[in-house]
Structure 1
Amino acid sequence: MTPRGRPGPLSHPTPSRHDLELRAAARHFGRRRFLSLTAAAASLAFSTNLPATGAARAAELEPAKISDNPFTLGVASGDPMPTTALLWTRLAPAPFEEGGGLNGRTVAVQWEVATDERFASVVRSGIKVAFPEYNHSLHVEVKGLDPDHDYYYRFKTGRWISDKGRTRTSPAPSAAAPSLTFAAVSCQAYHDGYFTAHRHLAGEDVDVVFHLGDYLYEYAVNAAGGARGYTDRKLPDVFNREATTLADYRLRYALYKSDPDLRAVHAAHPFVVTWDDHETENNYAGPIDEKNDPPEEFLLRRAAAYRAYWENQPLRSAQLPKGPDCRLYRSLAWGTLARFDVLDTRQYRSDQAYGDTQHVPGPESDDPKRTITGDAQEKWLIDGWRESGALWNVVPQQVCFSQRRLDLNPVAKLSMDAWDGYRASRDRVLAGAKAAGVDNLMVLTGDVHVGYAFDIKDRFDDPDSRTLGTEIVATSIASGKDGADRPGNWETYTKANPHLKFYNGRRGYVRVELGRKAARADFRTVSAVTKPNAPVTTAASFVTEVGSPGLKPA
């Protein structure tokens, strides 16, 4: 997150003839009518000329003759379910070229799932076709697996074999799973440093990783890799501009996924992903971008960004975008132990109040019509809680949920980009949680490049009010560079927010163990990211007990 109005880092590519025609149409039709026309045009542009199911010809199922390794971007798995696994890879023998070096070819790829790392016991296998229309990405939904089980997977084409990955299935819906260990990560600006925390997380014994947004940044990356300061290599100029087109976003994912630490953590653990703003554009709100460009223009950019996101993440076909729209919010379960309601607080939100500046609350921000989730998602979340039989109800999402007073004034300034800028929305969600009888609520958050631990209060301005749950804020993987254990505003924030139990500004991740009696959160941090190979330590640990919300030092 950066303040609205921050100038774009570098130049934009020349608009295409199609873009210029759309802009001319905008002037002719007027904004509201053209907004609907552009949404339809974007949907059409990103859904036509796509391969139909079973479109591969028999000749295309022959082994591919690819001279260079096509598995340069690694493998991944996502969204664990009891009897299915979602596997991902993308073919790119030349990852920093448009088309990945495959020149529009259609490539058949074999996949295998085994119960052992050596693939002596292969239990499922098949062939999937990588189409150029999807940038040669593969999303394989493997069915018929056993619940609560570890599996290994890999891909093959021609003489090339991918790295192996580990995934796992979740317990059966009625299973009383005794525990679950997961990690939460966010905000990995390539140009701010190395993904050392990912390398450490790859070696952790966790069941699943939740990525809470800002998987990549649209900002330019110079030849030296920004703060990485490469001296033994030089990145292509194609990255030295802000990403705005489909080709730009696809190449930016290739840059990020070329990082060995990111590839390692994806291979080690299944991921559950959701986006924040930088996967598209800083601090956008629905159809409104940071620079207040015409929404009809921004929707075209959003369609490109959403398409590239799906192509490069372990997501199922249900999350395939339709132009500038994508149903990313969804629920997952871990037996009866936990329900995870993954939110999208970008696509449906009202525009930030008061110009997205730090501001005291007022009529504009507290308008009851304002929403950060949109009406449909808010109803979906609360209805899901009413139906939930899980012991823990966990909400992975993007921006700070708890109140965060930014100064010591009697009426403090708040962030208009976080839930503090949408207090009516937060009040409705908490009222829904109370009405549904949610006793063990945990919110997972990213965005702010620091680690926080909050008690979620019934009335945040009254420290003695009832504690309704806990919020665990995962610091960034790299964004913000090295950081500090106590940032300059540490004393102000801890005094202004009695419900803030922990604040640390280093990079890293959070490891959480959910049990039947309590949950434990370990804040794992690295000392630096501007230099590789920093060690990892535990900055602090907290527990919260079942039936007794509130964080206590472990």
Structure 2
Amino acid sequence: MALSGRTGPPHGPAFTPHDAELRAAARHVARRRFLTVTAAAAALAFTTNLPARGAFAAPRLDTARLADDPFTLGVASGDPLPDSVLLWTRLAPVPFAPDGGLGQQRVEVSWEVALDEYFAVVVQRGTALALPEYGHSVRVDVRGLAPGSRYHYRFRTGAWISPAGRTRTAPPAGDDTSSLRLAAVACQAYHDGYYTAHRHLAQEDVDVVFHLGDYLYEYAVDSAGGARGYTDVVLPDVFNRETTTLTDYRMRYSLYKSDPDLRDVHAAHPFVVTWDDHETENNYAGAADENGSDPAQFLARRAAAYRAYWENQPLRADQLPQGPDAQLFRRLHWGTLAQFDLLDTRQYRSDQAYGDTSHVPGPESDDPARTLTGDAQERWLLDGWGASTALWNVMPQQVCFSQRRMDLNAEAKVSMDAWDGYRASRGRLVAGAKAAGVGNWLVLTGDVHVAYAFDIKDDFDDPGSATLGTELTCSSVASGRDGSARPANWDTYMRANPHLRFYDGRRGYVRVELGRETARADYRVVPVVTTPGAAVSTAASFVTKAGSPGLTPV
């Protein structure tokens, strides 16, 4: 994450594997130091515990013997298509046990999709297996659904029935749908506070939620839950260490998904997810971690983190990692109203210039060879813009895209972890958007634990240059603990960045309504997260007109 939003522990000592699981994975790469990253990925593919088949498959559990509720981690849906949506759950009758209380047994789970909340009109049903090799997660890609429709779903195993979830499909391809309501969230450090923003978002009337990263934090969580300050709950010591292994990451997702507000918001809306850094490790860049560890060693950790992320999110099989590699960037459509080009700005990026803090741009950061997306993802994005027929081209991604000068000096510092540290890479996207004639460009951003609204300029150093699009940065759900409407650097940032139209330091989310004529953004905030139950309010609202980029306050 960027320096201005950093609230976690400082850089610790160099990473050392703490158990046999990580050491075994790292040895596959470390013993051949000459391997390229690609070859390392191939080696690691054999260390991620793929499901066994035939006589070697895990035995099946007699579900009649399940004495405790296995649906403690809730349900979720994601990546809606016109005829399909992905349904997810993960079985864990003992959620804080390494195996979830199910050992190494396969568990048969049935599922059903209905038109009504009472499941009187079931339109599809089936069964799936929860495999121990995938942490007993279940994902069902339900196909053959009606476009532009709302559905209810649930799972069952033994005598236990999961909570019901609500989801929906996208409109038909080519349909001139008139509106879409979405929300963007990011950065939910469990140890920094309650998920009050999620509780309110679960009640919002939105079609889809975009989670822009830092769903999970790798930092230790003490027995009191950090800032939550539990007095009637004592968390196990297993959480009071940094996550490094597959077991660590799986259990940390169990902790996060034990939060009722997170479970409720997943059950209420389909999610479209992408990661940032903390799902693996703070400020990592490609195969480089923040401590300068052996890349082979870090890739073993990355493989574990990526695998656990896939297991615990409503993602399709296309996103299943192969060792330390996973294609998370992908494209979704909402009729002809919107094209969503979802980016991954961590896996392929060049290492941060001048370290991963703030610095004045220079030859190292401005090297044209440096990239935030990698060449393949950059070409995919530019080609997608060229072929787009959508009215709004929306780019959900992680770190601040617009220039963000941090002081009033002639040569101001900027974040080397954001697009400011990769100005040539940003320049190629700006040029590509102009060449493709992307007239209604909307960037959704997380990472920094504050809310921003930017006009995207053709030349950020010239306030009078053309406005090419809009960037909406959602605040954090909890990271940074309680915030304030005007952070200490508010005046400096507003003066140093004329294209910055709004800045608020409270926790919350941004709600966006896309229409045929305008897009409206409402910044929804809560005053505190270190105590539960705060009310939500709208801090500011803006509109941008189709065909006329630039934000106007409402």
State the TM-score bracket (shorter-chain normalisation): over 0.9
Residues 394-423 of structure 1, C-alpha deviations (whole Å, 9 max, x = no match) = 000000000000000011111000000000
Q: Secondary structure at the match of 1:253?
A: helix
Counterpart residue number, 2:448: 448
Counterparts in 2 of 1:40-51, with a 5 A limit?
40-46=42-48, 49-51=50-52
Residue 177 of structure 1, CA deviation:
0.5
Counterpart residue number, 1:33: 35
Letter in 2 for 1:44: F
When residues 226 and 553 of structure 1 are mapped into structure 2, their CA distance, relative to the original with a 3 A threshold, is same
Counterpart residue number, 1:548: 548
Letter in 2 for 1:528: V
TM-score normalised by structure 2 residue count: 0.96
RMSD value, Cα = 2.1
Residue 215 of structure 1, CA deviation:
0.1
Letter in 2 for 1:43: A
When residues 147 and 34 of structure 1 are mapped into structure 2, their CA distance, relative to the original with a 3 A threshold, is closer
Q: Secondary structure at the match of 1:200?
A: helix
Counterparts in 2 of 1:131-142, with a 5 A limit?
131-142=131-142
1:124 corresponds to 2:124? yes
**Using the alignment, how far apart are the partners of 1:345 and 1:303 within structure 2?**
17
Residue 56 of structure 1, CA deviation:
7.9
Residue 174 of structure 1, CA deviation:
1.1
Counterpart residue number, 2:75: 75
**Using the alignment, how far apart are the partners of 1:24 and 1:131 within structure 2?**
25
Letter in 1 for 2:35: R
- Paired residues of 1:9 and 1:242 also in contact (CA < 8 A): no
**Using the alignment, how far apart are the partners of 2:40 and 2:146 within structure 1?**
45
**Using the alignment, how far apart are the partners of 1:214 and 1:103 within structure 2?**
29
1:408 corresponds to 2:408? yes
- Paired residues of 1:39 and 1:296 also in contact (CA < 8 A): no
**Using the alignment, how far apart are the partners of 1:490 and 1:386 within structure 2?**
38
Residue 175 of structure 1, CA deviation:
0.6
Counterparts in 2 of 1:324-343, with a 5 A limit?
324-343=324-343
**Using the alignment, how far apart are the partners of 1:189 and 1:228 within structure 2?**
11
Counterpart residue number, 2:10: 6
Q: Secondary structure at the match of 1:98?
A: coil
**Using the alignment, how far apart are the partners of 1:148 and 1:298 within structure 2?**
43
Instruction: Give unmatched runs, 5+ long, in structure 1.
Output: none
When residues 202 and 12 of structure 1 are mapped into structure 2, their CA distance, relative to the original with a 3 A threshold, is farther
When residues 345 and 25 of structure 1 are mapped into structure 2, their CA distance, relative to the original with a 3 A threshold, is closer
Residue 131 of structure 1, CA deviation:
0.7
**Using the alignment, how far apart are the partners of 1:148 and 1:24 within structure 2?**
47
- Further displaced range: 450-459 or 102-111: 102-111
Q: Secondary structure at the match of 1:402?
A: coil
Residues 4-40 of structure 1, C-alpha deviations (whole Å, 9 max, x = no match) = 99333999663428727955973x64x4437555433
Letter in 2 for 1:40: A
Residues 312-334 of structure 1, C-alpha deviations (whole Å, 9 max, x = no match) = 00000000000000000000000
Instruction: Give unmatched runs, 5+ long, in structure 2.
Output: none
**Using the alignment, how far apart are the partners of 1:314 and 1:25 within structure 2?**
30
- Paired residues of 2:95 and 2:254 also in contact (CA < 8 A): yes
- Paired residues of 1:82 and 1:170 also in contact (CA < 8 A): yes
How many residues align structurally?
A: 550
- Paired residues of 1:184 and 1:209 also in contact (CA < 8 A): yes
Letter in 2 for 1:7: H
**Using the alignment, how far apart are the partners of 1:218 and 1:285 within structure 2?**
16
Counterpart residue number, 2:365: 365
Letter in 2 for 1:456: I
Residue 244 of structure 1, CA deviation:
0.3
Letter in 1 for 2:51: L
1:314 corresponds to 2:318? no
Q: Secondary structure at the match of 2:508?
A: strand
Q: Secondary structure at the match of 1:333?
A: strand
- Paired residues of 1:90 and 1:138 also in contact (CA < 8 A): yes
Residue 306 of structure 1, CA deviation:
0.1
